[in-house]
Amino acid sequence: MKNNFTYITLLAVGILAASCETNTTEVTDNTAKEQVSTDDVTVDRFADIQVLRYDIVDFDKLSLDQKKLVYYMSQAGLAGRDIIYDQNNAYNLEIRHALEDVISNYDGDKESEDWKNVMTYAKQIWFANGIHHHYGMDKIMPLFSKDYFSELISVTNTTISEKATDVIFSNELEMKRKVKDADVDMIAASANGFYGEGVTQAMVEAFYADKIDPNNKRPIEYGLNSTMILKDGQLVEDVWKSGGKYGAAIDKITYWLEKASGVAENEEQKAALNKLIEYYNTGDLKTWDDYNVLWAKSTEGDIDWINGFIEVYGDAIGKRASYESIVQITDFEASKQMKMVAEKAQWFEDNSPLMPEHKKKNVKGVSYKVVQVASESGDASPSTPIGVNLPNNNWIRQEIGSKSVSLGNIISAYNNASGSGMLQEFANDQEEIDRAKEHGQLAGKLHTALHEVVGHASGQINDGIGQPAETLKNYASTLEEARADLVGLYYIMDDKLIDLGLISTLEVGKAEYDGYIRNGMLTQLQRLDLGKNVEEEHMQNRQLVAAWAIEKGASENVIEKIVRDGKTYYNINDYDKLRVLFGDLLREIQRIKSEGDYEAGKSLVETYGVKVDQAVHQEVLDRVKPLDIAPYRGFVNPVFVPVMNDEGEITDVKIENTQNFVEQMMFYAKEYGSLK
């Protein structure tokens, strides 16, 4: 998960993994404030986004076959780039292609405000992989007129349909990519491309209710790799596979995967790659599970990857997965420092505050590595997680284990572009500021490790209870992220971390508690438009945990809300009692997951994780504005260039890391466009 493959968020000068990819990396209070705009760090800045670049250290020390493996896997990842656009909305590719044609062919006035607004709009679409904001999910509205756009289309001889043009400018069409609201038909209300015309939530839920056996101890991830459509009045899964939907892109993915298989570092890697190819060719979800078993067991070697239809955050009901790819190189020295967490996973499980019947008796094969990202694509790019834990299927995690990685060079790039402005603005006092500066980065890294390695690996579902996607439905992802966060929060204040030599003082844990409450109640609100509810799962999770703890600790004043000079702050008066509260909430959320208690899960999320105090929200926006901080960040990728001999054989692979954001997006459009 991102941060399960859950995309992780930056938290407290460090990072908090979200399932496990915190599919959306956000800038929070300790992480980035007074931004540095050095040429080697910042690539671009537009709208609410800052684009950075990351480095790959010691690539030249890899063997030739290892370099080839990185190159082939990066090509495989980029070959599927178009898929995420179509998954996000049916008009995305047509609109993107039109904009790219205009940008390639327009030779008129490029200093006008209209043209600059066109370029900003194009950059926003590239960053979001479509016309909807990558995090907020609302449609991005252009700041240029329809007449100006029509003029550009005409003078460049660009083709775009009238309907797609209407979608760009309409205040009614395709307005929100994903709608998370239990009171509406979330499928009908969402503008993503996972469901065809006329498909309703009730239809889909009934379709899978007939298929899923809650007593199956090894269930497949139903619906993961298909578009659900109506055909002759019947629901049908249009499977994403070779010869099927997205087949043109998938065939290019498998072309590069086959080359990668030929230079795999060991037989385990090779077997996993060959099984992944089989899955793409057949679309069979049992084969997907077989691949994930092989991949989870393949822990040797310096190169690894994430590739496939994996995270379901883009689907309001958590069934269908977005395409993504991450290619990674192990950072051995950094990995040694966190290996202890994985080795002690059973101790953490045994000593957790969970009910005994909800604890795993034998935590399987959790591996944890710090890696260098080499290339990203799909839902992992340009906005990237900072940590990942996979596979997502619960039975594989329980029987076989999982892999957790922290994306070290991504974290370093964030830190190199960060300052302390938000911390100075939102921390309650100098003691809190000093604690964050001294311990915040380590606190964030440890919380990420605990979230990914211990959190997502912990707990078990009762026999006869279905998977969370079926039992907890649209609340499953939020509750899973809260559960994993709470595991990290509970243990980061445990003396065991001192005994293991991971920290020297519990001030590290206090720094994480400070930052978590600050972020959950205040600083993450900079990402919302005024008047909006919290809908994104990771934001819901953080607000839920913080707001619940504040309410439950009110009688003992565990966390104090302070208003000073018209500004709101939070001060933790008793860290030990707050840890107990975190343990209480962890126990309850695990019970909800283990027992499939939908109503209790819904109540938690809706009561604490959704509604926003509008006065506080306005205050946060007013306080953040003078800091001029881009609340969202992402990256351009290095370009791998094969060196060929006269026989056409690769003799070396070089890295070029000089493209700016527009250059890279136009390069990708030319080199990796496979879907129309």
Given this model, what pLDDT does residue 369 score?
86
Given this model, what pLDDT does residue 34 score?
28
pLDDT digits (tens, 9 = 90+) for 60-73: 999 999 999 999 99
Closest CA to 285 of 218, 230, 213: 218
Report how far apart, in Å, the C-alpha atoms of 174 and of each of 132, 194, 263 are. 9, 13, 44
In a 3-state reduction of DSSP, which class is residue 220? coil
Are 561 and 570 a contacting pair, CB within 8 Å? yes
pLDDT digits (tens, 9 = 90+) for 244-279: 999 999 999 999 999 999 999 999 999 999 999 999
pLDDT digits (tens, 9 = 90+) for 494-544: 999 999 999 999 999 999 999 999 999 999 999 898 999 998 899 999 999
Question: Mapped to the 3 state alphabet, what secondary structure does 334-374 carry?
Answer: HHHHHHHHHHCHHHHHHCCCCCHHHCCCCCCCEEEEEEEEE
pLDDT digits (tens, 9 = 90+) for 554-589: 999 999 999 999 999 999 999 999 999 999 999 999
Among 39-53, 118-132, 295-309, 310-324, whose mean pLDDT is lowest? 39-53
Containing H/E element for 650? Answer: strand 650-656
Given this model, what pLDDT does residue 18 score?
33
pLDDT digits (tens, 9 = 90+) for 97-114: 999 999 999 999 999 999
Helices (H) and strands (E) in the chain, counts: 26, 18
Predicted confidence band at 384 (pLDDT cuts at 50, 70, 90)? Answer: very high
**Structure-block tokens of residue 493:** 């204040």
Alpha-carbon span 292 to 319, nearest angstrom: 18
Alpha-carbon span 51 to 43, nearest angstrom: 5
Alpha-carbon span 390 to 306, nearest angstrom: 9
Are 49 and 634 a contacting pair, CB within 8 Å? yes
**Structure-block tokens of residue 88:** 């996000």
Given this model, what pLDDT does residue 587 score?
98
Spatial neighbors of 110 by CB under 8 A, at least 6 apart, are: none
Q: What are phi and psi of 369, to 5 degrees?
A: -135, 150
Alpha-carbon span 338 to 631, nearest angstrom: 29
CATH number (3.30.540.30, 3.40.50.80, 3.90.850.10, 3.60.130.10) of 6-61+246-629 reads: 3.30.540.30
Closest CA to 27 of 527, 512, 538: 527
Predicted confidence band at 2 (pLDDT cuts at 50, 70, 90)? Answer: low
pLDDT at 13 over 60: no
In a 3-state reduction of DSSP, which class is residue 7? strand
Spatial neighbors of 54 by CB under 8 A, at least 6 apart, are: 373, 409, 410, 412, 413, 635, 638
Given this model, what pLDDT does residue 404 score?
86
Report how far apart, in Å, the C-alpha atoms of 56 and of each of 50, 310, 413, 442, 621 are. 20, 25, 11, 22, 36
Given this model, what pLDDT does residue 234 score?
95
pLDDT digits (tens, 9 = 90+) for 137-190: 999 999 999 999 999 999 999 999 999 999 999 999 999 999 988 899 999 999
Predicted confidence band at 337 (pLDDT cuts at 50, 70, 90)? Answer: low
Predicted confidence band at 39 (pLDDT cuts at 50, 70, 90)? Answer: very low
Share of the chain above pLDDT 90, in %: 81
Among 128-132, 454-458, 594-598, whose mean pLDDT is lowest? 454-458
Provide mean pLDDT across the span 465-486.
Answer: 93
Other beta carbons less than 10 A from residue 642's beta carbon = 15
Q: What are phi and psi of 183, to 5 degrees?
A: -90, 0
Q: What are phi and psi of 496, to 5 degrees?
A: -60, -35
Share of the chain above pLDDT 70, in %: 93
Q: Are strands 322-330 and 226-231 parallel, antiparallel or unpaired?
A: unpaired
Q: What is the DSSP string of 15-69?
A: EE--SBEESS-B--TTT--S----TTTEEEEETTEEEEE---TTGGGS-HHHHHH
All structural domains of the chain with their residue ranges: 6-61+246-629
**Structure-block tokens of residue 138:** 């609302």
Given this model, what pLDDT does residue 241 score?
98
Predicted confidence band at 419 (pLDDT cuts at 50, 70, 90)? Answer: low
Q: What are phi and psi of 346, to 5 degrees?
A: -65, -35
pLDDT digits (tens, 9 = 90+) for 191-235: 999 999 999 999 999 999 999 998 899 999 999 999 999 999 999
pLDDT digits (tens, 9 = 90+) for 618-646: 999 999 999 888 889 999 999 999 999 99
Given this model, what pLDDT does residue 238 score?
98
Other beta carbons less than 10 A from residue 517's beta carbon = 22
Given this model, what pLDDT does residue 32 score?
30
pLDDT at 478 over 70: yes
Average pLDDT of the chain to the nearest whole number: 91
Predicted confidence band at 418 (pLDDT cuts at 50, 70, 90)? Answer: low
Given this model, what pLDDT does residue 340 score?
81
**Beta-bridge mates of residue 303:** 329
In a 3-state reduction of DSSP, which class is residue 475? helix
Are 514 and 575 a contacting pair, CB within 8 Å? no
Angle at 581 between CA 547 and CA 394, to 5 degrees: 85
Provide mean pLDDT across the span 435-461.
Answer: 90
Closest CA to 438 of 509, 499, 521, 387: 509
Given this model, what pLDDT does residue 457 score?
85
Among 98-112, 442-456, 478-492, whose mean pLDDT is lowest? 442-456
Given this model, what pLDDT does residue 16 score?
33
Provide mean pLDDT across the span 464-486.
Answer: 93
